[in-house]
Amino acid sequence: MKVTVLGNNSALPAFGRYPTSQIVQVHEQLFLVDCGEGAQMRMQQFGIRSDRINHVFISHLHGDHYFGLVGFISSLSLKGRTRDLFLYCDASLKAIIDLQLPWDLGFKINYHFLKEGDAELLLKTDTLEVKSFPVYHSVPTHGFLFTEKKRKRRLLPDKLRQYEIPKYYYKKLSEGFDYTKQDGSVIKNEWVSEAGSPDKKYAFAADTRFAPEMVEHIFQADLLYHETTYLHDLIDKAAQRMHSTTLQAAEIARAAQVKKLLIGHFSSKYKNLEPFIAEVQTIFMSVELATEGSTFEC
């Protein structure tokens, strides 16, 4: 699972930084998380094929998180897309899109409306789960947890052949079951498999005030994106605007026992971002800037 940052700034583009947008890649699938102004240009710049995106997740309806979406959808239509697009968002967004794009797009938009305060399973496949969880901002806002599902057990081909286990039973073995042969003898799972890789988790915490309530949803994530709009000397301003500071994001990362913290949504008042790293590392060492164009692996 990989995360590519398209935009890392807050409400106003500044110093060459674009508003919030990210691409999450799980195997060959691409998912768009938020779509700030200029996201399409960043996709082109960073070599991301927008036609491979089938699912879009919009955390909340502040412009710096969705003003690029109408243009993105329009471009898909102009390119001749016919596959459905799945959009997870606040219910109010549908009326905005319908007003801006009233014609036949050539494909269907399937909406899944997020309910304020809810945590729910949005998408589930054999290899992926995406869940929403509430965060706390000035409008209804959700974070998203991407979990790449790994097989519980890794099969050992030589042992499978040795014990003459049929292929139809491989999935059961990967789930931890033993195999019973026709003569009643049992082939123990541990004879033909070994422990698989653990699931990988990426948590996108969106815009939020300091919210220890979210820890249960992001606990032990491999990678956590958390906003740090301000350095900690502006904690009062952060509280007033329902944003977070460097030290608050670090406290969340430490409490959630995440492996790595990715920080972004920087206020346009800051040109130099290095102090953000320095402040976070007084509490939580494993941190990186959400530098645009960078890709981070879980």
Q: Which of 113, 192, 122, 126 is nearest to 153 (CA)?
A: 192
CA dist 138 and 237 (Å) reads: 13
- In contact, 252 and 212? CB cutoff 8 Å: yes
**DSSP assignment letter at 190:** H
Q: Which of 285, 290, 268 is nearest to 16 (CA)?
A: 268
**What secondary structure does DSSP assign to 235-297, as a single string?**
HHHHHHHT--BHHHHHHHHHHHT-SEEEEE-B-TT-S--HHHHHHHTTT-S-EEE--TT-EEE
Q: What is the largest CA-CA distance in the chain?
A: 74
CA dist 155 and 84 (Å) reads: 36
Q: Tell me, yes or no, if 64 is annotated catalytic.
A: yes
- In contact, 201 and 147? CB cutoff 8 Å: yes
- In contact, 266 and 116? CB cutoff 8 Å: no
Q: For residue 229, give the H/E element and its range.
A: none
Phi first, then psi, for residue 97 (nearest 5°) are -65, -45
Catalytic residue among 34, 51, 64, 233: 64
Residues marked active site are found at 64
